[in-house]
Structure formats: C-alpha cells, structure tokens
Amino acid sequence: MTAKEDVTPTRGGSATGCDSTREFASAVDVSHLRRTYGTTVAVDDVSFSVAQGEIFGILGPNGAGKTTTVECVIGLRTPDSGAIRVMGVDPQLDRAKLHAIVGVQLQASALPGVLKVGEILRLYRSFYRDGADVEELLDAFGLAEKRDAYYKSLSGGLKQRLSIALAIIGRPKLAVLDEMTTGLDPQARRDTWSLIETFRDRGVTLILVTHYMDEAERLCDRVALLDQGRIVAVDTPEGLADRTGVDKRVRFVPSKAFDDALLTVLPEVSSVEHDGEHVIVTGSGQLANVVILTLAAAGVTANELHLDSANLEDAFVQLTGRHLHEDSIGRIHQ
Amino acid sequence: MSSQASALQAKPPRSAFGELLRSELLVAWRVPLGLLIGVAVPVLVLLIFGAVPGMNKTEKSLDGLTFFDVYFPVLVAFVSAVLSLISLPTHLATYREQGILRRMSTTPVPPTSMLAAQVVINLALTAIALGIIVVVGMAGFGLGAPKQAGGFILALALTVASMFAIGLWIAAIARSAAIAGGIGQLFLFPLLFFAGLWIPRELMTPVLRDISDWFPLGASVQALQSSMQGVFPSAESLLVMAAWALAFGALAVRFFRWE
C-alpha cells in the first residue's frame, strides 16, 4: 500500500518535525537539520518529510550534503542541531530500535571479500528477528547463480545488487540507498531501477540519494533538490520541471496532412510549426496526450513522436543558477 | 506497531553472534594470516628444534635447564604476541578500512560483536598453537607439567591479556591494515627480543635483563619459567603484565573508532 493518497507532506518540507504522537503521519521527519565539519557547513537548515510508502529522492551535485543528511537520518552521524524522527524514533536516542526498522545501503563496498554471496545473506539475515527469506532474495535479485561466488569476484553491478538486497533483508520499514547506481553501466543501472520499482510492493519507504537526474525522474515520487547544504525545493519531478516554465515540444510526422487550426485552438498549444514533413507543436500541460488524442479523433496518426520537456536538470539549473557537474542526462524521449 | 513489540524487535536474535562467529571463522580459514603466523610458525620452530640435537640436554649456562625448557615460555609468548599484535589488529583495521564495521553499525548487531568474534577466534588460535607446543614438547622434548600450575595459568592469562590489550589498541588507532601491520611489528620485535627469542633471558647481561623485566613478554617469560620450575611467579612480573594490559586496554577503549 502506498500512503501517498492518505498523507501529503507539506511542500517545501516545513514539517513540524518532532511530533511524538504514536500515530505518525510520515515515515521520516527532518526539521532544521544542521551539521558542520570544522568550519565547513555540510548541511544547513534542511527540513523535509517522507510519507510512508513513498520513494523520496535526495538529489544534488557532489558535496551538496546529501550523504551527510541521510547519515544523520540513519544514526551514523550526530546533527549539530535540528530534529529527526524515523517512524517516531529519534536516531540519536534509540539506535537499536532505529537499526531494526531501517535498512541501509552505503556508498562504499563494505563486505568481506572472501565471504560468498549466500554466506553474506545468511549472516545479515541472522541479524534481524523478522527478515526476508534468503532464497527469495537470491531469486528476486538475480543472485541465485552467484550464491557460491566470493564477494570480491562480483562485478560492480552484482555487488550493488547484493548491497541493496542486504538493505531490505531485515524487512525494514525504511530503506536508505546512497548512490546505488554510481559506477554501474547503463544496463546494470536499468536493472537496478527495475528492482527498486518492486520495492513499492514490499511496502518499504525509500530514500534514494542520487546525483542522476534520470534516476530521480524515473523512480521518485518526490525529490528534494539539495545544493550547497540547503534544500532548494521539494516537489514531484514533474512539479519541479513545471516550475521551470520551459515549454514542452512535441515533434512528429503526421500520417496525413491536417489543418493546423485543429491544434492551435487547443488551450495547451501555443504554436504549430512545420519542418519538412515534421510538425513541431509547442505548449504546456499534458501536451503530448492532447495532441495525440485530437489528431486521432481526426483520423491522423502521429508517427515518430518525440517529446521534449523540461526535466529535473532544467529545474536544477533554474533553481540554483548552476549546472550539476554531471554530464547532462538526456531529455525525456517518448 | 506497539512500542513493546518494537522494543522486542530491536534486539538481534541470540543466534546472530553464532552466525557472525561462523562467518568470521570462514574468513579466518580463507585468509589464514592468523593460522600461518600464529600456528604454522611455532610448529615450524618446533620442527627445527627437533632437528637440532641436544635440545633436551641440560646446560650449565642455562641454570641447569634444557634449551627446550628455556624456549618453551618464549614460544608461548611468541604465539600470543603474533596473534594479538599482528593477526587481530590487521584484521580489524582491514574491516574498518573497508567500511565493514561501519556497515555493521547500521544493523541491530553492534560492531562490538565483531570485536568479540575476532577476540574469540584469536584466543582459539592461541589455544590451538599452545596445545600443539605442549603436546610436541611433552612427546619430544621431555616437557613436564608446570610444577606451579596455578601460577602458570595466572601468568598465561596475564600474558594473553596484555598482548590482546596492545593488539586492540593498535586496532583502535591504525587507519589502515598496512599501518596496523607496521605498528604491530614495531611492538612485536622489541617485545620478542626482551622475551629472549634471540638471546635467552638467562644469557642476557644484567642491564638487559632488568629492562626485560619491565616489558610484558620479559615479565611473561620470567613468570612462566618460574611456574614451570615450581615457584609462584613474582608479584613484580605479574604486576608488570597487568599494568600493560590495563594501560593499553584503557587506551583501546578510549580511542576505538568504527570508521
């Protein structure tokens, strides 16, 4: 069950935070978190709430404070100030309870190289009273064939898969995955994404830390954009993209000629242009759907359809005035 | 979710430590650093002793003891020292360097369990090596039971405690496995020198022997030797070992980091 319908955390994360009532609305509440290392302010006044069952992204360039933020959430670091509650638990006060309900995948590889995949799963399973079935996890994560392989012999993608499996082996209520696809080849990244999408069915609330825009767009219900230790915005990926005010563009080859007025009368459409046999429609809202439906009603099929829309990358540039250091991930192609 | 149920859930199952011990044994078997230096080396030394004629003949220069009598406590000290000073800290530093302890600290099983598992394994290796030395000594070199058994056990316990304390302190402060190995050897060779590995204490100059008395393995060999001969170890030698154990134990606790 996703709790998204029941609970709508306040946009921008102005959560009340330290609500200690037993019936907590959100899985995670972070309010006014601040953490410094010496004179460097890693995280400053960061507030957000994660709803139960939600996949929540924390997105930003390297050094934005993403990892520090989640390390405070999972109790690995002590905040200088601010309040954190994870399922009603204060990570600093009750680490034992926290670790029983939170599963973690950390950035660096952190398992003994000479243990086998099956042995590692068995070991970590033994840490929890109520945990997932090792055999089921081996199958679900495509690791069954690698059960007798040493950890050190695994490819980066398989190591990452094992690491994610360990994050949910204790049937956590919250799983925190830090840079889960960094260093993976594109196929391994897509495989990992497919796995994450099955997490919804497991009823796990997820916090994903990433600096990949496409990853956040594909997986996350909502995203917190972090830059230089501060939250720039918290919204759905679409909501963030909409904030850029950048027009959407639909490009296609019609199956037969049609009157431009068919489209220009639509409120979503701002202009229609022709480029050889291609038609380019600019506008906003559910532009592609509206165009396709309208054309279909007139007996016209839109072939070679191609949609350009603002994405998180645009949103990030718009909101911070800076580019992510990463190569710009392609626009959405449909 | 009632708070009672969640409190119960927070505790790891009892079987968790057994599973951790099991997987650490697998690691110890597959990366047999401890087995090699802690068990294989003393066995090799015993084989060499066996090849040398006259190891079990009494020597006037050795206060009427045999060479084996003199070297038995040194071998005991050696086994305890290499396992505590090299095997244990190298392993723990590797685990910290690779983030294994940190990863564990996000589970209900605290990383202190890993520490405990490693101490258990290295204690077991120490016991195995000592067992081999005693059996071979009795069968081949005329080694008898210690004439002061209580004193021997006390001296042995303090030897192991002082070595483990230093080893855990090294594990506490070393940033990497390489540094842990380096610091371990920095301690190992002087300690073994004063234990009499190269020059038996009986043959040391008075000054050297006085210095040796203040080092844990010098005190250890002295205490073990006198128990073997039927004299309860001197309070001085027992206190020296206890002091090193307490001092480095406290430093280890004070400075231990999981990451």
Q: What is the pLDDT of residues A3-51, one digit of tens each?
A: 343 444 443 333 344 444 444 468 999 999 999 998 888 999 999 999 9
Single-letter amino acid code for the residue at B156:
L
CA–CA separation, B75 vs B82, rounded Å?
A: 11
Instruction: Give A-chain residues touching B21 at CB under 8 angstroms.
Output: none
Which tens digits make up the pLDDT trace of A256-294? 888 888 888 988 888 898 888 889 888 887 888 888 899
Q: What integer best gives the mean pLDDT of chain B?
A: 89
pLDDT of A190: 85
- Closest residue in A to B25 (Cα) is A115
Interface pTM (ipTM) of the complex?
0.84
A54, A220 contact by CB (below 8 A): no
What average pLDDT does the structure give for chain A?
Answer: 83
For residue B48, what pLDDT is reported?
A: 84
DSSP letter (8 states) at residue B65: E
Q: What does the pLDDT read at residue A270?
A: 86
Distances, alpha carbon A230 to alpha carbons A30, A44, A177, A272, A320, in Å: 13, 6, 20, 40, 11
Q: Is A126 on the interface with B (CB under 8 A)?
A: yes
Per-residue model confidence (pLDDT) at position A108 = 67
* pLDDT value, residue B167: 96
What value does the mean pLDDT take over residues A170-197? 86
Question: How confident is the model over A113-142, as a mean pLDDT?
Answer: 92
- Is the pLDDT at B32 greater than 80? The verdict is yes
**How far does A244 lie from chain B, in Å, by closest CA?**
39
Q: Indicate if the pLDDT at residue A157 is higher than 90.
A: no
Q: What is the pLDDT of residue B9?
A: 58
Nearest to A99 among B8, B99, B108 (CB): B108
How far is the C-alpha of A29 from the C-alpha of A14, rounded, in Å?
A: 10
Rounded distance, CA B221 to CA B81, Å?
Answer: 12
- Within 8 A of B103 by CB-CB distance, chain A residues are 104, 106, 110-111
Whether A124 and B107 lie within 8 Å, measured CB to CB: yes
Q: Which two tokens stand for residue A217?
A: 């767009």
Res. B259: pLDDT tops 80: no
Specify the pLDDT at position B90: 93
In the block, which residue shows the tokens 């080849």? A185
Which A residues, 269 through 328, put their C-beta within 8 Å of a C-beta on chain B?
none
List, as ranges, residues 107-146 from B with C-beta within 8 Å of A: 107-109
Between B22, B31, B108, which is nearest A100 by CB?
A: B108
Average pLDDT in the A86-111 region? 88
pLDDT of res. A30: 94
A245 or A203, higher pLDDT: A203
- Nearest by CB to A128, which of B27, B98, B108? B108
Q: Residue B233: is its pLDDT beyond 60?
A: yes
Q: Quick one: what percent of chain B has pLDDT higher than 90?
A: 58
By the CB < 8 Å criterion, does B4 face chain A?
Answer: no
Q: Please tell me which residue of chain B has the smallest CA distance to A170.
A: B107
**β-strands A205-210, A174-178 pairing:** parallel
Model's pTM, two decimal places? 0.79
CB-based contact A119 B26, cutoff 8 Å: yes
- The pLDDT confidence band at residue B7, using thresholds 50, 70 and 90, is low
- Are the beta carbons of A114 and B26 separated by less than 8 Å? yes
Q: Is the pLDDT of residue B168 over 60?
A: yes
